[in-house]
Amino acid sequence: MNAKNSKFNEIDKKKAFIDGKRPFPKHTAKRLNEKILVEWTYNTNAIEGNTLTLSETRVVLEGITVGGKTIKEHLEAINHRDAVIYLEDIVKGNENLSEWVIKNLHGIVLRDIDRENAGVYRKENVVISGATHIPPDFLHVPWHMEKLIKWYYGEGQGMHPIERAAVLHTDFVKIHPFVDGNGRTARLLLNFELMKNGYPPAIIKKDIRPLYYEALDIAHTKGEYGLFTDIVVKALGDSLDLYIKVLGLREKNMEL
């Protein structure tokens, strides 16, 4: 067994252990989902420069305005919350990945922030700050997105779901199909794939932002996905550990 499969197996054992304890207590599960939503929203926006703190993100999602913060920062939190709700709905409905789903997610992410570009592929060339890789010419974006979907339903289906989710995220960012909001949309797509396969969301923490961007650039320029996949495995492991802790499960009873 190679190291990569070993890491996936460790995650899958934790997942199977938790799944074996379902159904969870209703109120405990609700609190857990709320905690994950707030932390996911806070971290994904903080990576992009949003200055709301974790506690401020929580109160914004409760409908309270935070003084000294921009309307855009408030909308980024609210929109991400709504994008997650949409994501949960399409996962429950067994919706398949498509360009339509991707555009819908992006449309929610930029709703009332940039109405002209929300859910619309870019019509200009862009560069990624601090990255070596330069995204393709905007004229080629539709072709690259079609190719990504074909990969997903072809070669991608032969991968472990965690690896498939990591490559989907990475290659989407490489295309950078939208003018803005690509990172947040990519992390939603990452978790769309994970959640479809019964995993909890993997939250990429803002504290590892430099490593996260380095891993993406390595994948984009060298075709090496190992570092980014490791980041996803670690984030997913943290989420599973949170489930074990909050639900009061005894991990020592799990067969490792």
Over residues 137-189, the pLDDT tens digits come to 999 999 999 999 999 999 999 999 999 999 999 999 999 999 999 999 999 99
| 52-76 pLDDT, tens digit each | 999 999 999 999 999 999 999 999 9
Domain boundaries, the chain: 3-253
Distances 86 to 89, 93, 139, 180, 244 between C-alpha atoms, Å: 5, 10, 29, 20, 26
What single-letter DSSP state applies at residue 23?
S
Of the listed 74, 80, 106, 176, which one is catalytic?
176
Which numeric CATH code is attached to 3-253?
A: 1.10.3290.10
d(CA 140, CA 173): 15
Which of 38, 24, 28 has the alpha carbon at shortest distance from 201?
Answer: 38
Q: Which amino acid, residue 94?
A: N
d(CA 185, CA 168): 11
pLDDT of residue 187: 98
Which of 132, 140, 221 has the alpha carbon at shortest distance from 177?
Answer: 140
Give 256's pLDDT tier (boundaries 50, 70, 90).
very low
Strand, helix or coil for residue 182: helix
What percent of the chain lies above the pLDDT cut of 70?
96
Is 160 catalytic? The answer is no
Q: First-to-last CA distance in the chain?
A: 15
Give 254's pLDDT tier (boundaries 50, 70, 90).
low
For the cut 90, the answer to whether the pLDDT of residue 6 exceeds it is no
Contact 181, 83 (CB under 8 A): no
Please, what is the Cα angle at 231 between 226 and 232, to 5 degrees? 95
pLDDT of residue 250: 65
d(CA 210, CA 221): 16
Q: Which amino acid, residue 54?
A: L
For the cut 60, the answer to whether the pLDDT of residue 107 exceeds it is yes
118: left (phi over 0), alpha (psi -120 to 50) or beta: beta
